[in-house]
Amino acid sequence: MRVRFAPSPTGELHIGGARTALFNWLLARHEQGQLVLRIEDTDRERSSPENVASIIDALRWLELDWDEGPVFQSERSARHAEAQQALLDSGRAYRSSATAEDVKEYKRRHGAERGFRGEPEASGAVRLRVPDEGATVVHDLIRGETRFEHVHLDDPVIARADGSVLYNFAVAIDDLDARISHVVRGEDHLSNTPKQLLVLEGAQAAGLGEQAPVPVYAHLPLLHGPDGRKLSKRHGAASVAELRDAGYLPEAVRNYLALLGWGSGDDSTVLSTEELIARFDLEHVSRSPARFDEVKLRWLNGVYIRALPADELAARVAAFLRDSGHSSAGEDERFTRAVAISQEKIHTLADFWPLAGPLLDGSSDDPKARERWLGKTGRATLAEVRDALAGAESFDEAAVGAALQAFVARRGLKPRDVYQPLRVAISGTTVSPGIFESVALLGREETLRRIDGALAAG
């Protein structure tokens, strides 16, 4: 089996493209086949080296490797010209100067449903001859058979008058030369498939790639947002880069994308990459649109975060923070401990710093939190809490918890009326990891210093 992922570098790798890449990768790995990476960069106005680099970076972040490539379509112009000439020489294609208006006039005379047929000319664009009889049948592994009657198909333009080839021609020749056995791509390409099959048929009849297989096609269902509309930026992250910047883990993204339009055969949701490779096939890909829901991805990412060893999670959080511009983020013992006490509360790597960052650098200051919890009553309670903590025999989590719980019980207060003033005093906000863990992380000296500062500021 030989499959290919062929992005156009006109922008970042979007989530739909990432799922297509993943499905091709899973299929190749499951069948012990090869995956070819082809960059379809013939749109010179919109393609750029920066976009190519961004796409490759996104694939590497997703940890999707390839066996051949990247092959740049723009570097195959000589081969495309050779194939174009072979079709012209064999009579499978012809030159035509017909304009869009000429095509409209043809249909006005012959009927709107009649495909355009031109007459050979000495110059002009190159059109592929479509037979008048019969049909091209797309045998789709997901959708079944789709029949395209030739009488309704225009002779498609496969090259401009200057010799530059168009998408459907270049793609078909590239697939033929690469001996691609399965083309797995989005449903939006279904209308291109009969044109590409006709190019393949004409190319082989003209003596090109006679022994190469004609690919089998599988068109993946489209991705929609939770509201059932086509996926776009209004639904949240739209590209792999945005998911990475939002703090998602690549293994969680792989897991979630694999379930968009494909079923594992049971109700399993959390599947390792090894399990996905072992189970993946095209038989269980749905025809119906799949819904990308970032809320569900966030939940699944949290499951993966909680399954990581604490030291590995700390290393990932540190790397994420450095990439995000938090140059002060380190991997010392205090930082590692801060990650550990946050692990049950965060769903993405980006959640860590808003939750625990104030404990590490004391930078947060929420005026509303101070007003709500450090008024006269709150400061009075905080002063007593200070004394209780100052007198604690030790300052690990167990000792801190025992001291605070004893104080709550002795004063007959609700826990939140004790813990929230303390939390605001030590972190500047009402959000932090567990209060016992947070206080123990700071240590006695720093905790008392921050409490004194809060009391003095009141």
Q: Which residues are catalytic?
A: 233
Sign of torsion, CA 82 83 89 94? negative
Angle at 158 between CA 149 and CA 176, to 5 degrees: 85
Closest CA to 231 of 245, 247, 220: 220
The radius of gyration computed from the CA coordinates of the chain, to the nearest angstrom, equals 31
Helix-helix angle 397-411:435-457, to 10 degrees = 60
Count of alpha carbons within 13 Å of 99, Cβ hemisphere only?
1
Angle at 29 between CA 23 and CA 33, to 5 degrees: 105
Count of alpha carbons within 13 Å of 78, Cβ hemisphere only?
1
DSSP secondary structure letter of residue 14: B
Pairing of strands 125-128, 157-159: antiparallel
Looking at the DSSP bridge assignments, the partners of residue 136 are: 148
Looking at the DSSP bridge assignments, the partners of residue 140 are: 144, 217
Closest CA to 141 of 200, 193, 64, 209: 193
Specify the residue for token string 């990476």.
37
Which residues, including other chains, have CB under 8 Å from residue 448's CB and lie 6 or more apart?
386, 389, 390
Contact 178, 6 (CB under 8 A): no
CA distance 239 to 221: 18
Closest CA to 335 of 351, 357, 302, 319: 357
What amino acid is encoded at 379 in this protein?
R
Closest CA to 450 of 373, 362, 369, 378: 362
